[in-house]
Chains A and B, each alone.
Chain A
Amino acid sequence: MAAIEGTGMNADGLRRDGFLERMKLFGLCSPAILLVLVILVIPAGWLAYVSFLGADGQFSMENYSRMISRKSYMRIFITTFEVSFMTTGICVLIGYPLAYFLSQLPARIANICMITVLLPFWTSLLVRTYAWLVLLQKKGLVNTFAIELGLWDEPIKIVHNMTGTLIGMVHIMLPFLVLPLYASMKAVNRDYMKAASNLGANPVSAFWTIFFPLSTPGLFAGMLIVFVLCLGFYVTPAVLGGGKVIMVSMKIASNIELFVNWGAASALGVVLLVLTIGALWLTSRFVRLEQIVGGGH
């Protein structure tokens, strides 16, 4: 009697054991989850809440309406988008030929050339920004060199403005575009190109009708990741912009450091976060996120 019922009890027991086992394994994630919740998610939730409080502590939309009504805030958003779009655009213009070049090389030479992309990727952001500050200053290498070559007559201002910011940003963002793009180009089946030229396409039209469309997943992924990173960027515009290029992230920092205005800072933070999530959501439609973030390492 007991034996007959035993099969049923065993099944229940196994199911319970299996569940407990899965829970225990899942529990291994708990320190990591706890860290993310306590230091990131809960503060973010609190900031979102504070953004809806007015100066008097009551519910109010004043932090958001200020963004629309005040010209200075609008200008910050325009600057942020300007820098992000320009950086992404320039990165595409110079990153695509580079990635294409790398993808055409034999594996061994490509690996060596890849170091030139990976080395900046690993080098401290601050060091690279500093390097550009030194190179672009009035008596810097770029000015001296250009005057000697006769490109311009006297030192021009190429740092502490938008130009300097863009140069630094493009240098920092380029690897983020090239790495996913390169992976995507390597995945293009070369026989397609052979077939195209066999059917009479000249090299240029074979490239534009076959190769380029097949490389677009990596291109879009790279563009969006660069765009997202630009949106929230702080260090490079702060140093190379010389106070003339004010991005959203810098306004958030100054709202807290100078004015201790958590409401205004939080509202800007919420908008920045929404923009970022929107761009990431777009990205995830083209490519799995872990492929991009894992791409560089």
Chain B
Amino acid sequence: MLKWLREPASETQITHGARLWLYIVATVIMILLVAPTLIVVPMSFSDSQYLEFPPETWSTRWYEHYFTSPEWMSATVTSFQAAILTMLVATPIGILAAYGLHTSSMAYIRLVFVLLITPMMVPLILVAIGAFYVFVKVNIVHSLFGLVLAHSLLALPLVVIVTGSALKSYDMNLEMAARSLGAPRWKAFLTVTLPQIRFAAITAALLSFLTSFDEVVVAMFISGGDNATLTRNMFNALRDQIDPTIASISTIMVLVTSLLMILSQLFGRAKGS
């Protein structure tokens, strides 16, 4: 250990000992990045109203409260419906657009690309009030349909970017070969190109799901009534008081996210090998 401290750490011959402070600072920051989210998990099993850590008495009462509450359950169902539908709408639309952008050599194609990624640049609150205004006019506020449209808008840039960059590293000659052997363009795409970019497509789909599932601001404006989302209800509950039920919901959400993250990492690995 002491020997290690005197060893050179980089090209400049600075020793590990001389920059021990850097290692300590970085480790503390990394712990601070992860700890808050993880600490919610044991807290959600606390029996106390005040969410102690470590909990003095353990209980699953907040989970029971969540699973037996009709409002929370209905909101959970809405959130999953919206996320799955957003995934099913945004992914194909985004892949089509990425393919179109990649193959069409039209002038101004870069402008179209910028247009398609604007939803992730514009502050969410502006997307929210804009969508709210349109949805009031056509009477789809508080409907699942409207929610899916707005969330698909938010997920679209991610799909275009992720699948677009996969198409850039894909050899279009493979598709050419399929077409020269008589396959129509759509068939060549579905049987040759799409399988080659499937990892990016799956990542894009997962990101679309998460975009919708985690989204708060837009949902706050355009979801409600029977179609209020989980995040909307959580946000409203947070503004009033610290309801321990939220800790249990948070734990479940972290679980869902981690699962999706592990899935995407697995697909990423498979791609790497």
Contact yes or no, A134 B123, CB < 8 A: no
Complex: A282 Cα to B164 Cα, angstroms: 24
Indicate which residue in B122, B127, B250 contacts A127 across the interface (CB closer than 8 Å): B250
Within 8 A of A (CB), among B116-165: 116-134, 149-150, 152-153, 156-158, 160-162, 165
B100: A residues at CB distance < 8 A? 25-29
Main secondary structure of the interface of B (DSSP, over half): helix
Contact yes or no, B124 A234, CB < 8 A: yes
Instruction: With A206-B12, A232-B123 as known contacts, state yes or no: A134 contacts B129, CB within 8 Å.
Output: no
Contact yes or no, B257 A126, CB < 8 A: no
Contact yes or no, B26 A252, CB < 8 A: no
Instruction: Select from chain B the residue with minimum beta-carbon distance to A276.
Output: B123
Cβ-based interface call for B1 (8 A): no
Main secondary structure of the interface of A (DSSP, over half): helix
Cβ-based interface call for B253 (8 A): yes
Complex: A234 Cα to B232 Cα, angstroms: 13
B203: A residues at CB distance < 8 A? 297
B127: A residues at CB distance < 8 A? 39-40
Cβ-based interface call for A287 (8 A): no
Complex: A232 Cα to B124 Cα, angstroms: 7
B237-259 CB contact bits vs A (8 Å, 1 = yes)? 01100100011001001100110
B158: A residues at CB distance < 8 A? 297
A252: B residues at CB distance < 8 A? 125-126, 129
Contact yes or no, B40 A131, CB < 8 A: yes
Instruction: With A25-B100, A141-B39, A190-B11 as known contacts, state yes or no: A125 contacts B216, CB within 8 Å.
Output: yes
Contact yes or no, A294 B161, CB < 8 A: yes
Q: Tell me the minimal C-beta distance from B256 to chain A in angstroms.
A: 9
Cβ-based interface call for A231 (8 A): yes
Cβ-based interface call for B112 (8 A): yes
Contact yes or no, A28 B210, CB < 8 A: no
Contact yes or no, B133 A47, CB < 8 A: yes
B102-117 CB contact bits vs A (8 Å, 1 = yes)? 0111100100111111
Instruction: Select from chain B the residue with minimum beta-carbon distance to A231.
Output: B123
Instruction: With A32-B96, A127-B253 as known contacts, state yes or no: A101 contacts B26, CB within 8 Å.
Output: yes
Contact yes or no, A35 B153, CB < 8 A: yes
Cβ-based interface call for B170 (8 A): no
Complex: A297 Cα to B25 Cα, angstroms: 26
Most A Cβ at <10 Å: residue of B12, B109, B220, B235: B12
Cβ-based interface call for B58 (8 A): no
Instruction: Select from chain A the residue with minimum beta-carbon distance to B138.
Output: A38
Instruction: With A126-B214, A238-B239 as known contacts, state yes or no: A293 contacts B234, CB within 8 Å.
Output: no
Cβ-based interface call for A253 (8 A): yes
Cβ-based interface call for A137 (8 A): yes
Cβ-based interface call for A78 (8 A): no
Cβ-based interface call for B207 (8 A): yes
Q: Tell me the minimal C-beta distance from A166 to chain B in angstroms.
A: 14
Complex: A277 Cα to B239 Cα, angstroms: 31
Within 8 A of B (CB), among A84-124: 94, 97-98, 100-102, 104, 113, 116-120, 122-124
Most B Cβ at <10 Å: residue of A47, A98, A233: A98
B221: A residues at CB distance < 8 A? 253, 256
Instruction: Select from chain B the residue with minimum beta-carbon distance to A170.
Output: B32
Task: In the complex, identify which listed stretch (A58-66, A68-76, A192-200) lies at the interface while the others stay far away.
Answer: A192-200
Contact yes or no, A35 B156, CB < 8 A: yes
B261: A residues at CB distance < 8 A? 118-119, 122
Q: Tell me the minimal C-beta distance from B152 to chain A in angstroms.
A: 6
Cβ-based interface call for A215 (8 A): no
B176: A residues at CB distance < 8 A? none
Complex: A297 Cα to B246 Cα, angstroms: 28
Complex: A42 Cα to B131 Cα, angstroms: 10
Contact yes or no, B40 A32, CB < 8 A: no
What are the nearest 5 A-B pairs in CB distance?
A232-B123, A43-B130, A28-B100, A101-B26, A32-B97
Instruction: Give residues in B with beta carbon < 8 Å to A.
Output: 9-14, 18, 22-23, 25-26, 29-34, 36-37, 39-40, 43, 50-53, 93-94, 96-97, 99-101, 103-106, 109, 112-134, 149-150, 152-153, 156-158, 160-162, 165, 203, 207, 210, 213-214, 216-217, 220-221, 231, 234-235, 238-239, 242, 246-247, 250, 253-254, 257-258, 260-261
**17 pairs of residues in contact across A and B, judged by CB atoms under 8 Å:** A36-B116, A36-B118, A38-B134, A40-B130, A43-B129, A98-B26, A113-B30, A118-B261, A122-B210, A122-B260, A171-B32, A239-B238, A252-B126, A253-B125, A256-B129, A290-B165, A294-B162
Instruction: Give residues in A with beta carbon < 8 Å to B.
Output: 22-23, 25-29, 31-33, 35-36, 38-44, 46-47, 94, 97-98, 100-102, 104, 113, 116-120, 122-135, 137, 139, 141, 171, 174-175, 190-191, 193-194, 196-197, 201-203, 206-207, 228, 231-235, 238-239, 249, 252-253, 256, 262, 265-266, 269, 272-273, 276, 280, 289-290, 293-294, 297
- Besides A124-B254, A203-B13, 20 more A-B contacts (Cβ < 8 Å) are A23-B106, A27-B100, A35-B93, A35-B152, A39-B127, A39-B134, A43-B133, A117-B30, A119-B33, A124-B231, A141-B39, A201-B12, A235-B217, A235-B235, A249-B125, A252-B129, A256-B132, A266-B129, A269-B126, A297-B161
